[in-house]
Amino acid sequence: MKKTLKYLKPYWRGVAAGLFLKLLGSVAELFLPLLLEYVINDVATNAALSSDVKIRMIVISGVLMVVCSLTALLGNIFANRLTVKSSGNMTHDLRYDLFQKTCYLSSKQTDEIGVPSLISRLTSDSYYVNQMTARTLRLGVRAPILILGGLILAFWRDVTLALVLLACVPIVGIVVSLITRKSVPLFSNVQKKQDVMVRDLQENITGVRIIKALGKTEYETEKFDGTVKDLASREFRANRLNSLSNPLATLILNLGLVAVIVVGAVYGKKTGTILAFLQYFVIILNAMIALSKIFVVISRGSASAARIAKVLDLDVGETVEELPEGDKSYKIVFDDVSFSYNGVKDDVRNVSFALKPGQTLGVIGATGSGKSTLVALMMRFYDVGKGRVLIDGKDVKSYTLKELRAKFGAAFQNGFLISDTVRKNVDYGRDLSEEEIDEAIDAAQARELVEGLEGGLDFVLAQKANNLSGGQKQRLLVARALAGKPEIIVLDDSSSALDYATDAALRRAISTRYENITKVIVAQRVSAVKNADLILVLDDGEVIGLGKHDELLNTCREYAMIYAAQMGGEEYGTLSAE
Ligand SMILES: Nc1ncnc2c1ncn2[C@@H]1O[C@H](COP(=O)(O)OP(=O)(O)O)[C@@H](O)[C@H]1O
Ligand SMILES: [Mg+2]
């Protein structure tokens, strides 16, 4: 809560001005009943005054009442504007920082919180914090002033009637706070369900093709329908309870009004005084209802603020350690590396290899064998559990992440394209020259593809590049990895959707044009890694073969088997995935 409130600080001027106007408006509102009482008791029903004087006094009082009303109205309008602006600005800053933090989270931290939860924190939670701030600024000052000021003025005017009023206040207070207390957990229930809905929605939208392909549309729709219905019924329960507070408070209010009139009649109070009290009654009880509403918003908002603060508080500070250096003549060294995602079972075990600058490492293995994990460890998306990873003889933990990642140009298996132009996708904010982009497009075998698109490099991709085929996407991702001439090119399963001829052309282009660059090629096809200087065969996280193609054919039975199976298939031409 503190953490998020801090975001209001830069806008304190607007907040202060808003609160001041609120104060002014509320005080002006409290004067209205006093003026009314004066007009009725001391002017209209005063036999000692001549009718001329009466009219003059009534007009003056009327003008004063209009002035008070206008002050209350304008004060409120401008104050609301200022507070909405301050809370809006605050939400913007909060979201900005939260997004930035989200981008800097380590892969491990992202796994722990979960992407859907991060999304809800950025969207609905920050909205609730906004609501909390805006409402509190709007009513947090106004309501207490109206209640306290109203009570003080009431006691000043007439103690007997004020006691009637005072008796009603705790009753309303108890009813409203009981309802509020019950509805708060219901609202946090709603929030939890919202996380589930976002997760389901995200899964469905991402997997819409697969869902369609497997004919699971109905199943998923029904499942989603269930989630939405559940959410709706939770929301209904929370709101149903919460909406009780208004009618109940109104009932008490009306009973109180009757009590004021009865007591006023019994004690022979003047009409003006009774009227003024009726007004105080309405003002005070409405303020109490408003205050109870703020409590709901505050409890919901502070739960959200806590969720946001949890992300903001995560330490993404890089730990750059001074660690012993290794042999600088190698570009990449894995020294007995083991790693586990969940800390239970090692997802890769005792991996060791060394690669010289300019060499190509081929990594092959079944899905789930740990290929992408090796890449992730190399680029320090995760820290190794055991052993060490050296780049240029230096432990990856001794680099800043920026330094380390600047060495890589990577196309990931699940790499994503932004919904922007082809040029921006390849450049990706690096301000590359036209030649660099062209060169990368050529090498990635994407020239023909780009020329075929309307506008060429300026063609705008749809969201998730849905207007491109799998192979087209892969080529653009590869172009991005190649552009800017990194020191190490990483292609993780980046040609799986290319036809054999294009794949072969891509491999040729990479090995000739990027001769001096170190390459890591992850693939399922032997043909993609066959010419590598070093091939690593992975099986269930373990290295079962390491060497050149010819050696592996003799030393690694699995490799030879994969090779035999795949070469057999490819003689019959290629199965294009496009
Ligand atoms: N983010 C993750 N959290 C937990 N487990 C993961 C994660 N990513 C991959 N794994 C697990 O690690 C193993 C290796 O995965 P991966 O390296 O992606 O395989 P490959 O790239 O060879 O298909 C798999 O068993 C997979 O389930
Ligand atoms: Mg993979």
Q: Does 3 score more than 50 pLDDT?
A: yes
Question: Which of 459, 485, 511 lies at the terminal end of a domain, its last residue?
Answer: 485
Q: Do 361 and 466 fall into the same domain?
A: no
Ligand 2 center from residue 366 Cα (angstroms): 9
Element (H, E) at 361: strand 360-365
Q: Give me the percent of the chain exceeding a pLDDT of 90.
A: 43
Ligand 1 center from residue 351 Cα (angstroms): 15
Position 124 in a domain: yes
Q: What is the pLDDT averaged over residues 140-148?
A: 89
Determine contact, residues 104/316, Cβ cutoff 8 Å: yes
Q: Do 23 and 42 fall into the same domain?
A: yes
Which atom of ligand 1 lies at the shortest distance from residue 365's CA?
Answer: 22
Supply the angle between the helices 126-139 and 51-104 in degrees, to the nearest 10: 160
Q: Do 259 and 193 fall into the same domain?
A: yes
Ligand 1 binding pocket includes 378 (Cβ within 6 Å) = no
Q: Does 571 score more than 50 pLDDT?
A: no
pTM of the entire predicted model: 0.74
Residue to mutate, 106, 111, 373, ligand 1, most ligand atoms under 8 Å from C-beta: 373
Q: What is the pLDDT of residues 499-553, one digit of tens each?
A: 888 888 998 999 899 989 999 999 988 888 989 999 999 999 999 999 999 999 9
Q: Does 359 score more than 70 pLDDT?
A: yes
Q: Do 56 and 161 fall into the same domain?
A: yes
Q: Do 102 and 156 fall into the same domain?
A: yes
Sequence length of the chain is 578
CB atoms within 10 A of CB 447: 15
CA distance 490 to 519: 6
Q: Do 367 and 393 fall into the same domain?
A: yes
Q: How far from chain centre, in Å, is Cα 378?
A: 28
Ligand 1 binding pocket includes 370 (Cβ within 6 Å) = yes
Determine contact, residues 94/7, Cβ cutoff 8 Å: yes
Q: Which amino acid is at 303?
A: A
Residue matched to tokens 């990856």? 396
Residues 6+ apart with CB under 8 A from 443: 478, 479, 482, 506, 509, 510, 513, 514
Position 320 in a domain: no
Position 322 in a domain: no
Q: Do 468 and 385 fall into the same domain?
A: no
Ligand 1 binding pocket includes 484 (Cβ within 6 Å) = no
Residue matched to tokens 């409590």? 295
Ligand 2 center from residue 393 Cα (angstroms): 26
Whose Cα sits closest to atom 10 in ligand 1? 341
Ligand 2 center from residue 328 Cα (angstroms): 29
Determine contact, residues 491/519, Cβ cutoff 8 Å: yes
Residue matched to tokens 């939208």? 205
Position 190 in a domain: yes
Q: Is the dihedral of CA 161, 163, 165, 168 positive or negative?
A: negative
Q: What is the pLDDT averaged over residues 431-451?
A: 90
Ligand 1 center from residue 535 Cα (angstroms): 20
pLDDT of residue 298: 86
pLDDT of residue 572: 39
**How many domains would you assign to the chain?**
3
Which atom of ligand 1 lies at the shortest distance from residue 371's CA?
Answer: 22
Q: Do 55 and 22 fall into the same domain?
A: yes
Position 319 in a domain: no
Q: Do 458 and 515 fall into the same domain?
A: no
Question: Which of 312, 343, 358 lies at the terminal end of a domain, its last residue?
Answer: 312
DSSP string, 27-60: HHHHHHHHHHHIIIIIIIT-TTS-HHHHHHHHHH
Position 578 in a domain: no
Tokens found for residue 235: 């929301």
pLDDT band at 87 (very low <50, low <70, confident <90, very high): very high
The CATH number of residue 343's host domain is: 3.40.50.300
CA distance 284 to 542: 73
Phi, psi of 535 (to 5 degrees): -115, 130
Q: Exposed, middle or buried: residue 288 (CB in 10 Å: 0-12, 13-18, 19+)?
A: buried
Give the mean pLDDT of the chain.
Answer: 88
CA distance 204 to 222: 12
> Bridge partners of 492?
522
Determine contact, residues 21/78, Cβ cutoff 8 Å: yes
Helices (H) and strands (E) in the chain, counts: 22, 10
pLDDT of residue 220: 82
Ligand 2 center from residue 141 Cα (angstroms): 57
Q: What is the pLDDT averaged over residues 417-429?
A: 88
Determine contact, residues 321/480, Cβ cutoff 8 Å: no
Pick from 472, 474, 445, 443: nearest CA to 459 = 472
Q: Do 380 and 277 fall into the same domain?
A: no
Q: Do 158 and 220 fall into the same domain?
A: yes
**β-sheet with 386-391: strand ranges across:** 394-395, 386-391, 332-339, 348-355, 542-547, 534-539, 360-365, 518-523, 488-492, 408-411
The CATH number of residue 285's host domain is: 1.20.1560.10
Q: Does 577 score more than 50 pLDDT?
A: no
If you ran DSSP here, which 8-state letter would residue 428 be given? T
Position 100 in a domain: yes
pLDDT band at 211 (very low <50, low <70, confident <90, very high): confident
Whose Cα sits closest to atom 5 in ligand 1? 341
List the domain range (segments joined by +) for residue 27: 2-312
If you ran DSSP here, which 8-state letter would residue 379 be given? T
Which atom of ligand 1 lies at the shortest distance from residue 541's CA?
Answer: 14
Question: Which of 277, 312, 347 lies at the terminal end of a domain, its last residue?
Answer: 312
CA distance 121 to 421: 29
Q: Do 133 and 65 fall into the same domain?
A: yes
pLDDT of residue 441: 92
Position 446 in a domain: yes
Determine contact, residues 482/435, Cβ cutoff 8 Å: no
CA-angle at 306, arms to 300 and 311, nearest 5°: 135
CA distance 378 to 214: 36
Ligand 2 center from residue 39 Cα (angstroms): 83
Whose Cα sits closest to atom 25 in ligand 1? 368
Whose Cα sits closest to atom 9 in ligand 1? 373
